[in-house]
Amino acid sequence: MGKEQTNLNYELSLELWKTMFRIRRIEERIALRYPENKMRCPIHLSIGQEAVPSAIAANLSIEDFAVSTHRGHAHYLAKGGNLHSFIGELYGKLNGCCLGKGGSMHLIDASVGFMGTTAIVGNSIPIGVGLALASQLKNSGQISCIYLGDGAVEEGVFYESINFSIVRKLPSLFICENNLYSVYSPLAIRQPSGRQIFEMVAAMGMKTANCDGNDVLACNKLVKNAVEHIRATGQPFFLEFSTYRWREHCGPDFDNDLDYRSKEEFDFWQSRDPIKLIESSLFLNPQFQETKAAYEILIANEIDIAFSAAELAPFGNSEIATKGVYA
C-alpha cells in the first residue's frame, strides 16, 4: 500500500472515529447528569451503536434527509444536529430544538436535513418515504435516510413503506440497526427462527446488504456503495447492521441485573466496542496519540458549554405551548 493510500485510510478512519467518539462522550455525559432530575424526559441511549450513524453521516450531504426513532441521539448528532438545541431539549428549555416540549424522543434540525425522531415504533418510516417521494417529484437529488430498529420490522407500515418505495422507485435508504432486542424481548420470541431481515426485504424486490455494525470501516464501505447506487439509479436500498446497545432500553444505567440477556453475550459485544476497534488501527499512526488527547479536551469543553447553556436557558411559557402543535 502506497503512502498516499495509507494517509487516505488514516484520514477516513480519523473522521469516523471523531464522530463516534463525540457521540459517545455526549451520551456518557447525559447518563452521568441524568440522575440530577433536571432532564425530565425518558432517554434512550445509543452507547455501543455509534458506528452506523457515523458511517451514514460520512456519506450523506447536509441537503439529504434523515428521519429516526426513539433511540435517535446518535443519528441527530451524526447528521450535524445542533448540540445546544439537543441538550436544551433534554432539559425542557426554550433553546431546545422543539422549544423544550418534545424531549429526547422528539429531535429535529431541519437546517441539516434531520427531519425528526418519534416515540412511536415505525412512525417515522412513512415520513421518510414521503420525503423521498418529494425529492423525486422535485428532482432535487436528495436521498431520504430512514433509520429503524429490528422491532419496527414487526409493524405493518414497514412493509407498506418498503413496497411503496420499490414500486415508485424512490431515493430512499433504509437503515436497520438490529440490536437483537425490543425492550427486553429478544428476536427469538418475536420473529421466525433463521429469518434474516435483509434477505426478507430482498425477496420483496429491493437491493439489500448487511454487515457487522461495530466495524465502522465495513459500515462505511457498505453505505458508500448503497448511496452511490441510489444517486445513480434513484432507486431504494436496504441495509441491515448487527449492533448492540450497552445500556438499559430506557434510561442511563446498565441493566444486566435483570437477566434478560446473559453476561457472556454482553461481554462479547463490549469486546466489539466500535470505538476501540477503530482505535486499534489508528494508534499505528504516531500522530494519533496527540490528536486523541487534543480532541478529548475539545469535546469535553464543547459538552460543558452546551450543558451550561441548557442550565441557564429559560423555560417556555403558555404563549408557546401550542406553537408547532397541530391536530
pLDDT in tens, the chain (327 residues): 555 555 779 999 999 999 999 999 999 999 999 999 999 999 999 999 999 999 999 999 999 999 999 999 999 999 999 999 999 999 999 999 999 999 999 999 999 999 999 999 999 999 999 999 999 999 999 999 999 999 999 999 999 999 999 999 999 999 999 999 999 999 999 999 989 999 999 999 999 999 999 999 999 999 999 999 999 999 999 999 999 999 999 999 999 999 999 999 999 999 999 999 999 999 999 999 999 999 999 999 999 999 999 999 999 888 888 887 776
Task: Give the per-residue pLDDT at 319.
Answer: 82
- The pair phi, psi for residue 105, each rounded to 5°, is -95, 5
Which domains are delineated in the chain? 3-320 (3.40.50.970)
Answer for the pair 217, 155: CB distance below 8 angstroms, yes or no: no
Task: Give the per-residue pLDDT at 3.
Answer: 57
Task: Give the per-residue pLDDT at 1.
Answer: 55
- The pair phi, psi for residue 61, each rounded to 5°, is -95, 170
Answer for the pair 64, 145: CB distance below 8 angstroms, yes or no: yes
Tell me the sheet residues that pair with 181: 186
The cell 451503536 sits on which residue?
A: 49
Q: Are strands 65-67 and 207-212 parallel, antiparallel or unpaired?
A: unpaired
Shortest CA distance to 30 belongs to which of 52, 46, 53, 19? 46
Separation between Cα atoms, residue 198 and residue 203, nearest integer Å: 9
- DSSP string of 9-44, one letter each residue: HHHHHHHHHHHHHHHHHHHHHHHHHGGGS-S-S---
Separation between Cα atoms, residue 131 and residue 137, nearest integer Å: 10
Separation between Cα atoms, residue 187 and residue 203, nearest integer Å: 20
Task: Give the per-residue pLDDT at 2.
Answer: 57
Let me know how many helices (H) and strands (E) the chain has, helices first: 11, 7
Residue spans of beta strands (DSSP E) within the chain: 65-67, 144-149, 172-178, 181-182, 185-186, 207-212, 237-242
Separation between Cα atoms, residue 92 and residue 203, nearest integer Å: 44
| The length of the chain, given as a count of residues | 327
Separation between Cα atoms, residue 65 and residue 61, nearest integer Å: 9
Separation between Cα atoms, residue 311 and residue 87, nearest integer Å: 9
Task: Give the per-residue pLDDT at 324.
Answer: 77
**Contacts of the segment 319-324: beta carbons below 8 A, 24+ positions apart:** 320/94, 320/99, 320/101, 321/101, 323/99, 324/98, 324/99, 324/101
